[in-house]
């Protein structure tokens, strides 16, 4: 994906989340509002997250495969999935099965100073 496309997608999703947050706030305040669109987005969100989990499950199956060309890449993919999955799980911190160690680790996002040089090496 082009960097522009990633930025566009991130901006789009951020705006949608802001809208959902505002709609949920209005609903909590008892504001009379048609929630049909919000319900549809929530259901679509659930379906999208299930799609991510289907991908993770497929990578888990592939990681157990005998062929290195299958299990090698799957293991690499799985090693990168913890961060986004922790963020998805963070929506449920009060659930009794939620584990405190699943809290997203924002330290992972700090730039590594070794890679922050300007110019060419």
pLDDT at residue 25, rounded to an integer: 66
Mean pLDDT of the chain: 78
Mean pLDDT of 86-106: 87
DSSP string, 103-119: S--GGGGSPPGGG---S
| Calpha distance 25→19 (Å, rounded) | 10
Q: What pLDDT digit, counting tens, does each position of 68-85 carry?
A: 888 899 888 888 888 888
* Count of CB atoms situated within 10 Å of the CB of 59: 19
DSSP 21: H
Minimum mean pLDDT range among 1-10, 78-87, 106-115: 1-10
Q: Is 103 left (phi over 0), alpha (psi -120 to 50) or beta?
A: beta
Position of tokens 């989340």? Answer: 17
Confidence (pTM): 0.63
Mean pLDDT of 53-68: 88
Tell whether the model's pLDDT for residue 20 goes beyond 80.
no
pLDDT at residue 80, rounded to an integer: 80
Tell whether the model's pLDDT for residue 114 goes beyond 50.
yes
Position of tokens 């990681």? Answer: 63
Backbone angles phi, psi at 120, to 5 degrees: -100, 150
| Calpha distance 100→97 (Å, rounded) | 10
Q: Which residues contact 81 (CB under 8 A, 6 or more apart)?
A: 56, 59
**To the nearest whole percent, how much of the chain has pLDDT over 70?**
76
């Amino acid at each position: 994906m082009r960097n522009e496309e990633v930025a566009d997608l991130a901006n789009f999703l951020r705006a949608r989340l802001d809208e959902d947050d505002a709609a949920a706030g209005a609903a909590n305040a008892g504001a009379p509002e048609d929630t049909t669109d919000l319900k549809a987005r929530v259901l679509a969100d659930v379906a999208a997250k299930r799609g991510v989990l289907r991908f993770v499950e497929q990578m888990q199956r592939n990681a157990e495969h005998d062929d290195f060309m299958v299990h090698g890449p799957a293991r690499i993919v799985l090693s990168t999935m913890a961060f986004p999955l922790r963020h998805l799980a963070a929506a449920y911190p009060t659930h009794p099965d939620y584990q405190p160690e699943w809290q997203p680790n924002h330290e992972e996002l700090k730039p590594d100073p070794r890679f922050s040089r300007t110019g060419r090496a």
